[in-house]
Amino acid sequence: MALAIMCSGGDAPGMNPAIKKFVDYALHKGQEAYLIYDGLEGLIDGKIKKATHKDVAGIVHFGGTIIRSSRSKRFFEYEYREKAYNNIKQSSIKGIIVLGGDGSFRAMQRFSSEFDINFVGIPSTIDNDIYGTEYCLGVDTCLNVIRDALDKIRDTASSFNRAFLIEVMGRDCGYLAVASAMVSGAEICIIPELEFNKEKMEAKLVKEIAEGRNYALAIISEGAKKTTEIHQWMEEKLGLETRVSILGHIQRGGNPTFYDRMMAFDFTIAAVDYLLSHNDSNKVVVFNKGEFSFIEIDDVVQNKYELPKHFIDAVNYLD
């Protein structure tokens, strides 16, 4: 049985360990292993290569993905999906592992509804916004990058009597912002899921400033789309000179942490085993309460991820 792996959408730390484990484990199980380069675009263009151990040797410590990734407008046209399917058949591939996020799984849902595709998705996105799983590959590395940046920014904030407003990624999900605020001791956290009460926070911080506070750290999720507004508010209402730091794509890079490497291995082993034992997978492997399981792709794309209650409580506590 020939199996393949591909990346789609944004890269995430942990993809390379997953790719290595896929090749090594598939060959160990007596299967042929294929690498699909450049994501959905590569699938359309037939960038499919049979892999050996040599192709994935020494890659576990690299961030990003050695087989690269893409987003594809062409894939939304039937003729190109048909071309992609024919490329899969030509290589005699019977199962595909897809490392990706919400957009990738939506594309695969449509693909599998039209063609005889056997695939398992591995949630791989720093946003941690995939329905049905507590954890997505790459999140731990991303949070450590943010944590390191916040620790350094707080050093200079306290040295210069300044406030800092740090925008983190996460798309429309506030997971990264809340988790980072919790471990960094930020005074303010603003996320798309909750309305920010300026008046209440202003009263609290003005009182603390009068009592001796001389700096503040605010974390804002990009999905809130309020960075400029909050910057002006902090300077005008709190009276603190405020600097803005947008961390940007450094959050998607870097060496995968120990945890992300181990999770990559476990996600991938579960996905390969499932493909080898089922002929009509079309599932996503998820991780909840310390265990891996599989849910239908339709459930993943038709439902929206919600922040855990204790994350919401953590933001409300700051008020």
Residue 281 has what pLDDT? 79
Distance separating alpha carbons of residues 264 and 258, to the nearest angstrom: 10
The strands making up 163-168's β-sheet, listed across from edge to edge, are 188-190, 216-221, 163-168, 242-246
Instruction: Name the 3-class secondary structure at 238.
Output: coil
Distance separating alpha carbons of residues 48 and 74, to the nearest angstrom: 18
Residue recorded with tokens 């398992």: 120
Tally the C-alpha atoms within 13 A of residue 147's C-alpha that lie toward its C-beta. 11
Among 11, 102, 127, 129, the one annotated catalytic: 127
Mean pLDDT confidence for 204-210: 92
Q: What is the per-residue pLDDT across 181-200, written as a single tens digit (0 to 9) for each?
A: 999 999 999 999 999 999 99
127 noted as active-site residue: yes
Distance separating alpha carbons of residues 177 and 45, to the nearest angstrom: 38
Q: What is the per-residue pLDDT across 121-157, written as a single tens digit (0 to 9) for each?
A: 999 999 999 999 999 999 999 999 999 999 999 998 8
Mean pLDDT confidence for 18-42: 98
Q: Shortest CA distance to 108 belongs to which of 266, 301, 311, 314?
A: 301
The answer to whether residues 292 and 286 touch, using CB atoms and an 8 Å cutoff, is: yes
Buried b (16+ CB within 10 A) or exposed e, 217-253: bbbbbbbbebbeebbebbeeebebebbbeebeeebbb
For the record, the structure tokens of 13 come out as 């730390």
Q: What is the per-residue pLDDT across 158-184, written as a single tens digit (0 to 9) for each?
A: 888 889 999 999 999 999 999 999 999
Residue 159 has what pLDDT? 87
Buried b (16+ CB within 10 A) or exposed e, 145-173: bbeebbeebbeebeeeebbbbbbbbbbbb
pLDDT at residue 205 above 90?
yes
Instruction: Name the 3-class secondary structure at 32.
Output: strand
Residue 34 has what pLDDT? 98
Residue recorded with tokens 């050093």: 155
Q: What is the per-residue pLDDT across 262-310, written as a single tens digit (0 to 9) for each?
A: 999 999 999 999 999 998 879 999 999 999 999 999 999 999 999 999 9
Mean pLDDT confidence for 258-262: 98
pLDDT at residue 14 above 90?
yes
Percent of the chain with pLDDT over 90: 91
The strands making up 291-296's β-sheet, listed across from edge to edge, are 48-50, 32-36, 2-7, 93-100, 119-123, 283-288, 291-296
Residue 67 has what pLDDT? 98
- Domains along the chain? 2-138+256-303 (3.40.50.450), 140-252 (3.40.50.460)
Residue 165 has what pLDDT? 97
Q: What is the per-residue pLDDT across 102-124, written as a single tens digit (0 to 9) for each?
A: 999 999 999 999 999 999 999 99
Mean pLDDT confidence for 233-262: 95
pLDDT at residue 318 above 80?
no
Residue recorded with tokens 């996020």: 101
Instruction: Please tell me which residue, 1 or 277, carries the higher pLDDT value.
Output: 277
